[in-house]
Every structure is written in C-alpha cells, then in structure tokens.
Amino acid sequence: MGRRKKKQILPPRRKRMARPARLQSARHWIPKYQGKNLCRTYATWFGVDLGCALRELELLGVTLDPTYVERLRTTLRNRPSRKKPAETSTNQDDDGYAAVWDDEFACIVDFTSADFPFGTTWDELEPVALENGAAVTYTLDDGDIPF
C-alpha cells in the first residue's frame, strides 16, 4: 500500500482572502468590532499590512482620525525598503566562473580571510601589440599562472 501524504494545515480563511472577499467580510466584521485601533486590528485580523488596511478601510467608508492617517502614511513612506539590492552583473567565462578585476589585478582569483584579493596583476601580464598596432592586449602564459 502507498503512503498517504499528510494533509497540509492552512491558515485561517480570513487570512487567505483576496481584496474583494476581505471587503465583503469586513462589512460584517466592522460593526462587531469593539477595540481601540481599528486599522491595526484590521491588518492583524485579515493578515495584511497597515497600508493595505488603511486603503481598504477607506474603500469601506470608515472614518478614521485624520492625524492618525497622516502619521501612519508618513511612517509607511519613511520605512526602509525590504527589497534586496540588485546584484551587480559579472562577466562569466565559458566554464561559468565569474571574471573579477580591478585597477591593480587583471584577474582576481579569490580573497584571503582578511578580504585581501589575490590573483594576477596587470604588471605580470605581457603586452602584445595587435597586427595593426592600434591597441594593446594582454596575454597570460601558462608559466605566469601562480597556482
């Protein structure tokens, strides 16, 4: 006999609702609410952030204290973004290794435990003029590789 998969436990339905369903459910929930901070409780009850709760309460026609609304909007505007910074693009060679370089090193192989780079410097490379003499390229012989 095959094994039965365990049934996945889901969060409460009210926290899985989309906006139209939340708005419909909130029309029945708000008259029963007896707490102090409707916006924060709405956000917690339905599992949304404070900005979404504020917008949805405004859509429902609930009147909130204008100073509270302005302070909340200012707070939300000044919060640091949770987005991760975009990764810098790196050039990858055919083997999939990232090519890293700077002003001192032509190719940075790795970094030491103290974050100092090591690899091939520009001085270790031999300049080779192109046939037309317009540009200079650098080549690396197998004997020049320190590892």
Residue 35 identity (one-letter amino acid): G
Q: Which residues pair with 91 in a beta bridge?
A: 99
Q: Report the percent of the chain where pLDDT is more than 70.
A: 69
Measured between alpha carbons, how far is 119 from 111 in angstroms, rounded to an integer?
A: 9
Render pLDDT for 81-123 as a digit per residue (tens, 0 to 9).
777 665 544 555 555 555 566 677 777 777 788 777 777 777 7
Higher-scoring residue by pLDDT: 5, 30: 30
- Which of 130, 126, 125 has the alpha carbon at shortest distance from 106? 125
Overall average pLDDT of the 36-44 stretch: 95
CB atoms within 10 A of CB 54: 22
Note the pTM of the prediction, 2 decimals.
0.53
pLDDT at site 65: 94
